[in-house]
Amino acid sequence: MAKRSFLISGVDKRLLIKDSIKTMPDVIRRRFIAGGASLGALTLLTGCDVVDSSSAEALLAKVSKFNDAVQDFIFNPDALAPTFPESAITKPFPFNAYYDLDDAPDVDGDDWKLEVRGLVDNKKSWTLPELYKLPQFTQVTRHICVEGWSAIGSWTGTPLRDFLKLIGADMRAKYVWFQCADKDGYNSPLDMRTALHPQTQMTFKYANEILPRAYGFPMKIRVPTKLGFKNPKYVVSMEVTNDYKGGYWEDQGYNSFSGS
Amino acid sequence: MSTLATTDEHISATRAKTIQPVWVRVMHWTNAVAMILMIMSGWQIYNASPLFDFRFSHDITLGGWLGGALLWHFAAMWLLMINGLAYLIAGFVSGRFRKKLLPITPAGVLHDVRAALTFKLSHDDLSVYNYVQRTLYAGIIVVGVLIVLSGLSIWKPVQLYYLVALFGDYPTARYVHFFCMAAICAFLVVHVALALLVPKSLRAMIIGR
């Protein structure tokens, strides 16, 4: 598990930087983020002062964009993530977030509605009982975290592509952008080709039980071809869009495609 | 005529003295830079989820945090892979691998290891690798191939599932990647120490002679 590092004792630097970015005027803010600058990125060259850190940083951001294109190119939408027997499931399946379980969003399933926005024909919001009526499938796959660890779990839900068809989404749009109930606004963009992958799922159950709070109640997007941080939990809205809207971790420097 | 002949002789004599051709030197140092970037950023990535009961000191890692280290790792990988691939192709096509690294016989290795440990190994002719060198250099090429293949397996376990299958499964590929790194670090210690003990070999890798 990653230990969060603290610049000012007790203050998480990633949250600090996120907050300070919010206070910037919009233009500067956009340029700041586009430059890949974050406190983490600013310390990239710790111990290596021979290189001008801002130009090295810009170069690394460019290579990461290039890597997005390469990964999109080699992504085969028909290649399936390996599936496993139930006996292979990791128990207990780890809870993982940048906060403790006590701080995880506690969503009231009765009030909750999935908001649908952007390039779709039907923008109606969906309640949980409505979503539960959609055909559901179970898949046992390996969840791989950007940190390197992995765990096998069982997720049940509706293929996202079926839902996108149902709501009349523009399948030629570039992204489906998810927003979550986390208090500092977790979000993540998913490229359309991955969104349409047969194993990409709107997940309502873990191990055949209603998704517990730890794993993202009421809805998680399970993407077995992506790293864990691109599997958003506590999803409250999805937007079909051609704009790259960034993401919680993507804005801090994690490679945006991050697909396996 | 005689002047020409002398010049020819002079040129071939100079050429004969070239121990490391320029392509070997360029690729060697490119690889050295790429390897160091990969290892230092790799240590920072390892720290995010250690396989063993230790972490690498922040002072010797690159990237500052996981996200920064990944940016470095996935940038330096191009340098490492393109240079490494070019080196393998050149090594096979030019016949350098065959001429310099083969044969490797157990008797020869045993003899030269014994000689090396008693400081009796001759370094008079740097253009011929002794059996210790041949074993280490051939071995590190194999490790280099393995670390790239295991790295690709960790990066693209779905697209390159057959590579993952080669190593067993995803977690095993991670261990293979780690142990290859450890092998390269061990090689580096020996390699640098020996280069410093026989400085003319280091000079040959810099200026060719």
| pLDDT for residue B16 | 55
For residue B161, list chain A residues with Cβ-Cβ distance below 8 A: 79, 82
How many CB contacts within 8 angstroms connect chain A with chain B?
97
Q: How confident is the model at residue B136 (pLDDT cuts 50, 70, 90)?
A: very high
For residue B154, list chain A residues with Cβ-Cβ distance below 8 A: 148
* Alpha-carbon span A127 to A116, nearest angstrom: 11
Q: With pLDDT > 90 as the criterion, what percentage of chain A qualifies?
A: 74
Closest residue on chain A to B63 (Cα): A44
Closest residue on chain B to A145 (Cα): B49
Residue type, B77: M
**Residue burial A83-93, b: 16+ Cβ < 10 Å; e: rest:** ebeeeeeeeeb
Q: How many CA atoms lie within 13 Å of B141's alpha carbon, on the beta-carbon side?
A: 17
Identify the H or E element spanning A203: strand A201-206
The minimal CB distance from A252 to the residues B58, B67, B159 is found for B67
* Alpha-carbon span A74 to A79, nearest angstrom: 11
CATH architecture of structural domain B2-207: Up-down Bundle (1.20)
Picking from A12-16, A28-32, A77-81, which range would have the lowest pLDDT averaged per residue? A28-32
pLDDT at B12 over 80: no
Question: How far away is chain B from the Cα of A136, in angstroms, using its nearest Cα?
Answer: 23
Please write the tens of the pLDDT for every residue from A86-134: 999 999 999 988 888 888 999 999 999 999 999 999 999 999 999 999 9
- Sheet with A175-180, strands from edge to edge, namely A126-127, A113-118, A235-241, A175-180, A187-191
Cβ–Cβ under 8 Å, residues A225 and A160:
no
| pLDDT for residue B2 | 44
The minimal CB distance from B64 to the residues A40, A147, A149 is found for A40
> What is the residue extent of each domain of chain B?
2-207
* Alpha-carbon span A86 to A219, nearest angstrom: 22
Q: How confident is the model at residue A184 (pLDDT cuts 50, 70, 90)?
A: confident
Residue of A50, A54, A63 best to disrupt the B interface, most CBs of B under 10 A: A63
| pLDDT for residue B69 | 97
Q: How confident is the model at residue B40 (pLDDT cuts 50, 70, 90)?
A: very high
The minimal CB distance from B67 to the residues A40, A82, A259 is found for A40
Tell me the ipTM for this assembly.
Answer: 0.87
Please write the tens of the pLDDT for every residue from A31-76: 444 434 444 444 454 444 445 678 889 999 999 999 999 999 999 9
Please write the tens of the pLDDT for every residue from B152-162: 999 999 999 99
Residue type, A49: D
B57–A contact, CB cutoff 8 A:
no
| pLDDT for residue B18 | 86
Instruction: Give the count of beta carbons closer than 10 Å to the beta carbon of residue A74.
Output: 11
* Alpha-carbon span A190 to A259, nearest angstrom: 10
Q: Which domains does chain A have, with CATH numbers?
A: 13-74 (no CATH), 86-252 (3.90.420.10)
| pLDDT for residue B122 | 81
Q: Residue B41 has which token pair?
A: 């950023």
What value does the CA radius of gyration of chain A take, rounded to a whole number of Å? 19
A51–B contact, CB cutoff 8 A:
no
- Per-residue pLDDT, averaged over B52-75, amounts to 97
DSSP B104-160: --HHHHHHHHHHHHTT----S-TTS--HHHHHHHHHHHHHHHHHHHHHHHHH-TTTT
Q: With pLDDT > 70 as the criterion, what percentage of chain B qualifies?
A: 92
Residue of A5, A18, A46, A227 best to disrupt the B interface, most CBs of B under 10 A: A46
| pLDDT for residue A13 | 57
B156–A contact, CB cutoff 8 A:
yes
* Alpha-carbon span B132 to B108, nearest angstrom: 9
Return all residues near B86 (Cβ < 8 A) that are at least 6 apart. B27
B166–A contact, CB cutoff 8 A:
no
* Region of A91 on the Ramachandran plot (φ > 0 left; ψ -120 to 50 alpha; else beta): beta
The minimal CB distance from A225 to the residues B63, B70, B158 is found for B158
* Alpha-carbon span B61 to A44, nearest angstrom: 10
